Amino acid sequence: MRHSHQDALDRWLAAERHDQAEEAEAALFELFEALPEISMAAPPAGFADRVLVRAGLRTAAARADLFAWRPLRIVLALCLVATGFGVLWLPPVLAALAGFWSFSGLVRGAVWATTEAAHGLASILRLWDLMVPIGRALAQPLSAPPVLAILVGALLVSSLAFRFLRDQLTGERNWTYVDPI
């Protein structure tokens, strides 16, 4: 800040010290108006990397591009060549596999999938028929208010007991109670 704006800064700090909100706000706006216009231009490319290198948080070798490494480029090129040869072999392989399939085989597979789905659904329904009476037998006593009150009381007692046990165990966990070797 230039010396001409020092009095606005002093007025703002003095007004803040003396809890004079309006005067402090006016002096602060005057300081903001004195600031130069900030253009929203982006910094040049690599600016952040240069700052980190100069600050010592990153070495110049660490910012090297991984794909600039020659052996990796060779491996990637060989992978692309292998993929290209695989595309050339794809039509004959698909034609050979298409010879194994026929319309009757497709219908047979669809019928098999449908029957297996029906058997699976029947198994699930049999298990459901077994679990529903068990669920009713467990839910019936819980619907009585005295039984529910006893269960809630037991839950509270067990929760308090667990809390005290946890506090007791964590309070004794330190290395001073370990026997020397």
Q: Give tens-digit pLDDT for 78-100.
A: 999 999 888 888 888 888 777 77
Position with higher pLDDT, 156 vs 70: 156
- Asked if residue 72 is part of any domain, the answer here is no
Q: Is residue 79 domain-resident? A: no
Q: Are 53 and 59 in contact (CB under 8 A)?
A: yes
Q: What is the mean pLDDT of residues 129-151?
A: 91
Residue 5's domain comprises 1-37
Q: Is the pLDDT of residue 101 over 70?
A: yes
Residue 178 pLDDT greater than 50, yes or no: yes
The verdict on residue 76 lying in a domain is no
d(Cα 63, Cα 68) in Å, to the nearest integer?
A: 11
* Residue written as token pair 């993929």: 83
pLDDT at 30: 86
Averaged pLDDT, 13-19:
90
Residue 114 lies in a domain: yes
Copy the structure tokens of residue 50.
Answer: 């240069």
pLDDT at 39 over 50: yes
**Total domains, the chain:** 2
Query: For 124-145, b where at least 16 C-beta lie within 10 A, e where not — what string?
Result: eeeeeeeeeeeeeeeeeeeeee
- Spatial separation of the C-alpha atoms in residues 180 and 176, rounded to whole Å: 10
Residue 138 lies in a domain: yes
